[in-house]
Amino acid sequence: MRKNVLLLESVADEAFAVLQENVNVFTGYDEGSLKDVLSKVEVHGIITRGKKRIDKALMEACPHLQVAARCGVGLDNVDIAEATARKVRVINAPGSNAGTIAEHVLALMLILMRDLYTSVEHVKQNNWDWRNQYAGDELNGKTLGILGMGNIGKRVARLAEAFGMNVIYWSRSEQDLPYKYLPMDEVLKQADIISLHLPLDKGTDQIIGKKELALMKPHAFLINTARGALIDHAALLNALDAQALAGFAADVLPEEPPVQNLPLVQHARAIVTPHSASLTASTYRRMCLLTVNNVVAVLTGGEPDLNSIYNRNSFV
């Protein structure tokens, strides 16, 4: 008997085709269609991306659920504890977005350090003389502080080295790496650029607040491509307004999409992209296919990649 999979968000066309070949596919992209599916279908698998949640209430409505998956890396929109308690395998795509997010981080660094956005805007306004007051700098010789040395942090470090940067880092544990490990406060004090690559949990929620921002150099830049809630945004806005921080760049915010004319988004010292770092065509396709193939493997008796089953230790 073919199993039934509920999609809460769209996936890449090739991944959707894989699903259709192997399982029955139902979509619950809005509240009405979701309720309709749940009232009529015995759901065995649920797939989401970055917005829709797979929470306790949804799992309770799917008593035959075998797998809950996210086409991505972070799992803060999946109730892992509830899934594990129900013997539901939680699948993600670890490492699949490391390269593209690292590229995005370097792009944001260059935009901030060289003040590229401002330069482009002045040229578009026919103000070539902007070059006479240009005050940008370069990455070469600067110190990059990485908070969180996982797959993405390591890729960022290697790219930064290629630009001639000195890399220091703090993570939850010291690793065997060619970079200097320091307490977080020291990384904040010494770095010219701080890049966040931490998961969001109780221990990291607003890990960068007023105290931490005050430790940073006034000419330093802060970059966040991990999770918006890692930063106390009220404290960040105050630091930018007081010129206690040279600039901020992010691909994530605590609430997405943000309200219109959000002061931080509109700030002259801030650059924000719409959570698009991992939406390049290549990475989006890879994340979706990796996730979908593992979901299909679980539901059809195949062999999923064990590294993609987040709570695999609970099934040993």
Alpha helices in 115-162 (DSSP H): 116-124, 151-162
Cβ within 8 Å of residue 207, ≥6 positions away: 147, 198, 230, 231
Q: Reply yes or no on whether 275 is catalytic.
A: yes
* Of the candidates 74, 76, 77, 80, the residue with the CA atom closest to the CA atom of residue 96: 74
Q: Reply yes or no on whether 131 is catalytic.
A: no
CA distance 34 to 58: 10
Of 89, 104, 227, 286, which residue is the catalytic one?
227
Torsion of CA 231, 232, 237, 239, to 10 degrees: -90
Of 122, 269, 275, 312, which residue is the catalytic one?
275
Could you tell me if 197 and 225 are in contact, meaning their C-beta atoms sit under 8 angstroms apart? yes
Kindly state the tokens that stand for 153. 């942090």
Read out DSSP for 228-287? GGGB-HHHHHHHHHTTSSSEEEES--SSSSPPTT-HHHH-TTEEE--S-TT-SHHHHHHH
Side chain identity, residue 38: L
Residue 300: CB atoms within 10 Å: 11
Q: Reply yes or no on whether 227 is catalytic.
A: yes
CA distance 66 to 35: 19
Q: Which residues are catalytic?
A: 227, 256, 275
